[in-house]
Amino acid sequence: MPASDFIRTWLEHIRVLSVEIGPRGSTTEGERRGAEYCRRTFERLGLTPVWESFSSAKSIFQPHLLGSLMMLAGFALYALGGVHGQRLGALISILALVSELQELGFQNNLFRLLVPKGQSQNVFAVVPPSGEHRRDLLVIGHIDTQRTPFIFRTPALVEAYKAFTTVAFVTFALQALAFSVGGLLGGLIGGFLGWQMDWSGLWLAGIPAALSALVLAAICIEADRSPFTAGANDNASAVGMVLALAEEFKVRPLQHTRVWCVCTGCEEVQHYGMIDFLKRHRAELVDPRALVFELLGCAGPAWLTREGIIVPFKPDAGLAALAETLAVEHPDWGAYPVKISGGNSELADCASAGVPAITLFGLAPNGEAPHWHQVGDTFDKIRPPVMEKTWAFTQAMIQRIDQGD
């Protein structure tokens, strides 16, 4: 089938997901309907889809709301609770900071135990190679869409939010450190040296954290009241790519590479779907590689060289070098490297599981993410000329992987 036919197929997948199904918030009925569409598509192609359910948080904002409330509680206890309050305030501040770090690193933590949960699902199908099976390739796109909070309405607000999150983390760390000295270590140090010291004045070090926590709590509350986006670019474009590739490889299998076409749930709430998939299937993968797809319908082709919120993640060096080589060999595609701060893709989960991965992420050359988490992320914004270049770039990358490059 000509490449133009696959582009039309890809475009139709985006239309169905973003128009007929519409918003697909994590653990919602819309997300489930999106997963059912993926399952039906795999079945129509003659593949055997696998449906795997899991429990997930419903919101990415609720853990950070809980963290901000814990920091405020720690501040109040230290300032007003006497010696015992100082100790308890220090412990709560440390626990909140550690949980924030674990959440940003996609690890189990106190927040994940406490926030409300719902049911979600991954859907995937496996396409065997035509010849000897030497390696596995994961192609990954997430079904769910995010809410549309005020902080994502303009690029300037997004940049301001990224800067604020860094400031908030620093102030949280300062409070935890100062309160640890005053509430936990002060008595031990004073007793060892024979000093009687009053550490109560260290509550002043918590004022910046308390102010940051108030702002963060307000941001989280507003965000969880905003509507979900229809998510044509983020991330129906990625799911559509996965489904179109499934059809491509069903028609023309790779020679030595088994392809796992993975449509995940709950990426927007810190990647519960991808984490669940890798826990179940990492041991089955043979010399694996992963291509993660994000926002492929409006800009690019581009690949990530760095991502992360406080905790950084980078692509596999070999896959990054392959992307650079293809960009040089095919200047007509206009492919370029990009990086993000204040966000993560499912590359982070692959890297944590020891799966070499790279994210093809359709950021603009200046780093802006078109229509990211906005009400305006609708089907009419999708640009077929961009999709054609991204399809060519992706296909070339997969062929090189199949050849063992």
Same domain assignment for residues 205 and 134: no
Same domain assignment for residues 54 and 66: no
Q: Give the pLDDT confidence score for residue 197 in this predicted structure.
A: 62
Q: Which of 189, 223, 257 is the last residue of a domain?
A: 223
What is the value of pTM for the model shown?
0.92
Count how many domains the chain has: 2
Q: Which of 223, 243, 274 is the last residue of a domain?
A: 223
Count CA within 13 A, CB hemisphere, residue 111.
29
Same domain assignment for residues 273 and 180: no
**For residues 48 and 28, what is the distance between their CA atoms, to the nearest angstrom?**
25
Picking from 379, 343, 358, the residue whose alpha carbon sits closest to that of residue 151 is 343
Question: Which residues on neighbouring strands pair with residue 54, listed in sequence order?
Answer: 120
Q: Which of 200, 223, 246 is the last residue of a domain?
A: 223
> Across the 405 residues of the chain, what is the mean pLDDT of every consecutive 10-residue run?
77 98 98 98 98 97 97 96 90 96 90 96 98 98 98 92 93 95 70 61 94 98 98 98 97 97 97 98 98 97 91 94 98 96 91 97 94 96 96 97 90
**Which residues lie below 8 Å from residue 11, measured CB to CB, with a gap of 6+?**
240, 382, 384, 387
Domain of 129 in residue numbering reads as 3-58+119-147+228-402
Same domain assignment for residues 312 and 331: yes
Picking from 204, 171, 202, the residue whose alpha carbon sits closest to that of residue 67 is 171
Same domain assignment for residues 205 and 86: yes
Same domain assignment for residues 200 and 270: no
44: left (phi over 0), alpha (psi -120 to 50) or beta: alpha
At residue 398, φ and ψ (nearest 5 deg) are -65, -40
For position 19, which CATH number holds?
3.40.630.10
Same domain assignment for residues 202 and 136: no
Token couple for 51: 């449906």
Same domain assignment for residues 28 and 77: no
pLDDT in tens, 171-182: 999 999 999 998
Same domain assignment for residues 182 and 240: no
Q: Give the pLDDT confidence score for residue 308 in this predicted structure.
A: 84
**345 CA to centre of own chain:** 4
Same domain assignment for residues 233 and 381: yes
Same domain assignment for residues 242 and 194: no
Same domain assignment for residues 188 and 293: no
CB 232 within 8 A of CB 373: no
**For residues 96 and 66, what is the distance between their CA atoms, to the nearest angstrom?**
8
Question: Which residues on neighbouring strands pair with residue 147, listed in sequence order?
Answer: 228
Q: Give the pLDDT confidence score for residue 188 in this predicted structure.
A: 58
Q: Can you tell me whether residue 319 is helix, strand or coil?
A: helix
